[in-house]
Amino acid sequence: MPILPLPDPALLVLIGPHDAQRSAWAKAHFAADEIVALADCRRLVADEGEAAAAGREAVALLDDLVARRLAVGSLTVVDAPHLTPGDRQPLVALAKRYHLLPVALVFGAPDPAALAREGFRRVLALDTAQPVTLRREPLPPNRRDLSGPFDLIGDVHGCFDELLLLLEQLGYHLGERVTPPPGRTAVFVGDLVDRGPRATAVLALVMGLAAESAALCVAGNHDNKLLRQMQGRHVHLTHGLAESVAQLARETPEFRARVLAFLGGLTSHYVLDSGRLVVAHGGLKESLHGRDDLAVREFSLYGATTGATDALGLPVRLNWAADYHGAALVVYGHTPVAEPLWQNNTVNLDTGCVFGGRLSALRYPERQIVAVPALRRYAEPRRPFLPSDSQG
Ligand code: MN
């Protein structure tokens, strides 16, 4: 039986004119409480009034139910004919508002290009004569199954020597290969590269650990920019990228291919430990946890910004952590601070090692900070963050 992979959670929009056929298929493939059916909504509101008004009420109820389910991140199947773009547009908008993928499941022969233009991110054709098995695929950030314990490590930026010292402090065995203490997993908050002296050694170490499931890493904005450079996209070799590019040029094509695959596979963020721990380079507000669209990726890479730049030409950042009231501990980096910064249930681990600060780690669930000082200052911060710099 053919297997149909489906992202979970997602908004699944059934498209087809035959009510009985569509509803039977939905009931055969999904739990009853995952299906929002227009027929049910119509029954609930159609006790009086004229038919057209009742129809509008039924659609409003359906949209409301879908919105509430997507807000909490539940996979939702919408069972209605959805024959015109106008029928489908409100659902595409809801999926976008809640940062989940809208998927069109079409009975008969769909027009994938037209549906893609409407905003559907995946279009699947269903043939009722041909049974299929649905396979639900968790979104890449979802590693709720991993419960740690973890050693979360702030922005490394090519500071390989300090990384080794930190790992030693954390009890890692440093031999031909680096091994964590039994049961522990390293989690890098991103920005492995740029500005520092040994980005390729950092990459080799983290890729090696990741290949043995001994480390996880989320994408940082610097990692992402290096990826785009390696993909041949036009990027400016600024903010320390030139150093990484020069270091990579001295490596073999095979190594560069591994780096390209590794950086290309980095996820925006991770949700770990049954949802109790979230890791994102720039931080992540609660409504985006576990979701994975462009807005989630932008927030994860750059944090919350106003879109404006300040007098130094740096993006104006918003203090999302001050407004964070989620239950999950959010561990992030990106903005150098003199000391790990705890704010509500978040902690910034970027203590600016490459700028002469420290490389910091958080042991989880112990909530214990372990840090090593930078061996030297490899780059000048554009915005001073160390007390000694502020004193002039
Ligand atoms: Mn950084």
Question: How many whole angstroms from 348 Cα to the centroid of ligand 1?
Answer: 11
Distance 110 CA to ligand 1 centre (A): 45
Sheet containing strand 215-217, strands side by side? 215-217, 185-188, 150-153, 358-364, 368-373
Spacing, Cα 333 to ligand 1 middle (Å): 7
In tens, the pLDDT along 81-118 reads: 999 999 999 999 999 999 999 999 999 888 999 999 99
Superfamily designation of domain 3-138 = P-loop containing nucleotide triphosphate hydrolases (3.40.50.300)
Q: Is the previous residue joined to 112 through a cis bond, with omega within 30 degrees of 0?
A: no
> What distance in angstroms lies between residue 87's CA and the mean position of ligand 1's atoms?
44
Q: Beta 269-272 vs 277-280: how paired, if at all?
A: antiparallel
Q: What is the mean pLDDT of the chain?
A: 94
On the question of a common fold for 3-138 and 142-391, the answer reads: no
Say if domain 142-391 classifies as CATH 3.40.250.10.
Answer: no
> Could you report the per-residue pLDDT of 181-232, keeping only the tens digit for each?
999 999 999 999 999 999 999 999 999 999 999 999 999 999 999 999 999 9
Query: What is the Å distance from ligand 1's center to 282 Cα?
Result: 9
Ion ligand 1 residue ranges (Cβ < 5 Å): 155, 191
22-77 pLDDT tens trace? 999 999 999 999 999 999 999 998 766 677 788 899 999 999 999 999 999 999 99
Percent of the chain predicted with pLDDT > 90: 86
352 C-alpha to ligand 1 centroid (Å): 8
- Rounded distance from Cα 195 to ligand 1 centre (Å): 9
Distance, CA of 337 to CA of 320 (rounded, Å):
16
Q: 226: CA distance to ligand 1 center in Å?
A: 13
Question: 259: Cβ–Cβ under 8 A, 6 or more apart, which residues?
Answer: 200, 203, 207, 230, 248, 251
CA distance readout (Å), 265 to 207, 223, 225, 259: 11, 11, 14, 10
Residue spans per domain, the chain: 3-138, 142-391
Spacing, Cα 144 to ligand 1 middle (Å): 25
- Cα–Cα dist 91/78, whole Å: 9
pTM of the predicted protein model: 0.92
pLDDT of 313 > 90? The answer is no
Residue 320 has pLDDT above 70, yes or no: yes
How far away, in angstroms, is 275 Cα from ligand 1 center? 25
List pLDDT tens digits, range 135-189.
999 999 999 999 999 999 999 999 999 999 999 999 999 988 899 999 999 999 9
Distance in Å, CA 222 to ligand 1 centroid: 7
Query: 378 alpha carbon to ligand 1 midpoint, in Å?
Result: 13
Cα 50 to averaged position of ligand 1 atoms, centre (Å): 60
